[in-house]
A and B are shown apart, each in its own frame.
Chain A
Amino acid sequence: MNIQEYISGGIIESYVLGLAGPEERAEFEQYCSQYPELVEARIAFEISLEQQALSGTTKPPAFIRENILQEIGKGAKVIPFKPVYGRSANIWKYSAAAAVLLLAGSITWNISQMNQNKTLSSNLEKANENIMGLVAEIGKLQQNPNIKMASLKGMDASPQSFATVYWDTASHDVFLLANNLPAPPTDKQYQLWALLDGKPVDLGMMEYNIRQKKLLVRMKNVGNAQAFAITLEKMDRPDPSKPGGDMYVMGKL
């Protein structure tokens, strides 16, 4: 096919403006994956359209901005949650230092399980480096007066599991420290949830890779939370905004 003719035939404009039918769209996307010049031409049109659309526009009334920012600050929509079968917990006030010690123990244990051989010492060195970096990162978090901490204790599915969530009450940033979570099966991954009035809010999937494990992971922001929980979820499940799998850890702020 003659890609230049296709490019100049109006399909780009039709696609970008949302006027193309489903078959045309599918065909266009297919060609985009084959012809970089088509993608370039599409982007050029998108930019010129954007520039034009941004010129001489009127500002919407200010209350709309207020409403929207207030609405998104409330967190996500309400979703019914699978009942939690946990034991009541009262030791939420672990210090960050204790968390690091537990993690150090966990990593050392993991490594000694993985390698009963000569690479042990170099791995241990790497682990130590990681831990030093982590201590520095947690130190920074601790200096921030807005940070609140939640210790997530193992539930019935995995009583040995343990994780820590740091939540910035001002910026709403969420950091997760996976102190001890078993390696998930290859078709599953962990997902973090904020709980507000018993309803879960998705804070994202955790990429789990024991060998290059990122110790302290930034998750999605959340405007408000009373507790946090981690579930083990199937990858590619139809609706990742709702929890479906077993709960591994949970803890209140």
Chain B
Amino acid sequence: MKFKYLGKSYNRPDAINKVTGKAVYLDDLRIPGMLHAAILRPEFAHAEILNIDTSEAETMPGVVKVVTGKDCHYHYGDNIKDLVPMAVDKVRYIGEPVAAAIADTLPHAQAAIEKIKVSYKPLPVYVDARDAMKKDAVLIHKENGEYWHLPTIKATPGTNIAHTYHLKKGAGVDGFKDAEVIIEAEFNYPHGSCTAIEPHGSIVWFKEDNTIEVWSSSICPFIIREDLAHSYGLPVSDVRVRIPDIGGCFGYKSDITVEQTVAWIASFVPGYPVKWVATRQEDFTSTLIAHGIRSRIKVGARKDGKLVAIQNEVIHSGGAYADTAVNITIAATHNCTGPYEFENCDLTGYTVYTNTPAVGAYRGYGHQEAQIAIERMMDLLARKLNMDPIRLREMNYLTEGKVNALGERMWKSHGDILTCSNIVKEKVFTKAKPQEDENYYYGRGFAAAMKSPKGAPFSTKGCYMKMNIDGSVSVSMGGAEVGQGLRTVVRQVAAEALMIPPEKIRVYNEIDTQYSPYEWQTIGSMFTTQGGRAIIRAANRLIAVLKNNAAQVLKTDVDYLEYDGEYVYLRNDPDIRVAVADLSRGYITLDGITIGEYAHAVSDARLPRYANPDENGQGSLGVNYTFGATAAEIRIEKKTGKIIVDKFTSVFDVGQVINPRQIRGSVLGGVTMAVGAALYEKLDIDAEGRINNPHMFKYHIPTYKEAIPMDIEFIETPDAVGPFGARGIGEHSVIGPAPAILNAIYDAVGVDFYEIPVTPDVMKKALEARQEN
């Protein structure tokens, strides 16, 4: 299909604002009368609070109020209400809010919290789920099982297991009896951090009229609104949340994170807006962290390479509060098959309370953490079967008609993984590998990828579209622009749907729950798919209004009329027509009488038939999939053990490219993050639960000189849901790099890794151990 405005690299509508310093982010907001908060964090990762003495802090210069969690009686959370805005009688992780000072300036607030004295009784600390799951482990939440939770959440009271998800497909474990070859291994994807360049922050204002106003660096304004309304007993309409520009998210600004804490603090000074912005250290220790997923995986196959059964235990160190981790566990568990068909699956995921910051979303949402295991297993199995690893994958891909672990039959519109795989094979594996030389070993590795959204049945995205008197159009949505470029997507899709140039479409900047249409939250690489569908629906409704107006003007029935973006005209005689601009506010006749309706439309879109899991963990939990294939070509420096990615190749079936420059940018950034995870990044959490590298100079994210040369290509098998066939791509690029690199390391030096990051030290030690053997 030929499109007029899709497939072209229009500039971002927010580029000029951002390059002139005029884009407004949370910390740039100054509300009249605003006060500043600083938050005290504990000395222990798990301890009872015996006493808090705030008396000296209260006398410090500029201090308006000192706040503790005493008397806080409410819990919050969307899946499990296990969260508290501030520690009440115990602390469960090192970055937890214990007390706060509100002052006229931030330095005054910071000085005041230094004077708060807290005495603790330390408790045993668990940073690894395997320890927290032990029978005699002290309970991090003695209330486990008693908290309000969604009906799909299954806690084990009296343990630290917050949720167990179990999926059985076919004969489950009994399926292994048909296997001729079985392999088992254990993999670990350790805790990391999203590390957006903009830290988290919020402003909360309890107003004298009993309404609440909030500004936050968050992608879920409507959740914040509903959550605060619930906690403070207000109608949802009395809480207003606004989202300014967001300086990167990558997952950890989804779900409710810091907002409830800032609200708790601000609730003590009604009438005053209170601002809190995380220091970089707090952004690491006191917002959501990532991953912490261990897989104990077993795969069975026939000798010809046909996969028959998979068993996996996904053990998720979920952090001190499990509300944000449970769905990641679920996504990791049912997506751990990767893009392969297994007739028999027995998959169990445990979300376990541990004494770290709560684990939350990170670009990829459980997929890379689980698929590192399956993509390594495919190489290990191929080796055991003496097969080419890509050939083994080709035999088992989830192509059209195959059935995934959830029992969902794959449609042609889910995309063509075999073609992606073939392109990568052709690009990377048909040429000779460089020969080992004096300084380097060379290797290359393959990994395929599958990504489903992890939504919720009620997840929807709204679109409000209004036509102005000159025929230009204003579009507002609830989708958060975190850098992914959704404003560009909205503009291009709306242009295509309305058949008017993008230059005549102005896309919203700010989200405001008072004016913006509802959106659950901007997650799961679903904005283009669901939001784009909502745009098309709204555009069709708007065009219908224009046609109805034109029918009255042209004195005919609507079904004789056509619309082309400029005119509504009679199909058989296009000269009988009326300009769209003249229809936009209704049509004004020569005698001044206005007939017809104002041209505006609202719509929304969900995934079709998205469902909760059944008793076997199966159901339409994915609905929409994107597949791809990737390969790493690496070099290992003999002297240092340093791994250099010479080239990373990614091929995805995205259905329809909307903006070539932006989609390349998305994959460039995703691959870079995931290479960071594979080679450098790991939160250094010690046995006491302390995070020892909570700074950018210690937690190393990839730098300019570490940029990776990339070959990125897209194929286009139109999607059934997304606008004009487009599907999601925001997270998919992070899935392949870690397993592809680990597979490449084996190819280079014959060493198998089961855990990341493979830092130069780790690699060097492995090389030395190999020589000793």
- The answer to whether A and B assemble together is no
